[in-house]
Amino acid sequence: MSNNERTGDQPKEGQPQQPATEKKSEKTINKRLQRTQAQVNEVVDIMRVNIEKVLERDKNLSQLDDRAGES
């Protein structure tokens, strides 16, 4: 029984009615997973760069603080 049959809804115009047993193919799922993994990898790379910048900023601020303390 399809979702439409269970709820009594009719498919919207222009949308094909798919049998309930039809599922996304493994190929489609793998493509989507690969795309999502690529996005995660991109975010991880950005975060690594941001962490490096924060550490460099901390180092620079520490050096500035040391120089200010010498005056």
pTM of the predicted structure, to 2 decimals: 0.58
CA angle 60, 41, 34 (to 5 degrees): 175
Two tokens at 41?
A: 């990898």
Domain boundaries, the chain: 34-71
What are the start-end ranges of the H helices in 1-71?
Answer: 3-7, 26-70
Residue linked to tokens 């919207």:
12
Type of residue numbered 40:
V
Per-residue pLDDT of the chain (71 residues; tens, 9 = 90+): 555 555 555 656 666 665 444 566 999 999 999 999 999 999 999 999 999 999 999 999 999 999 998 86
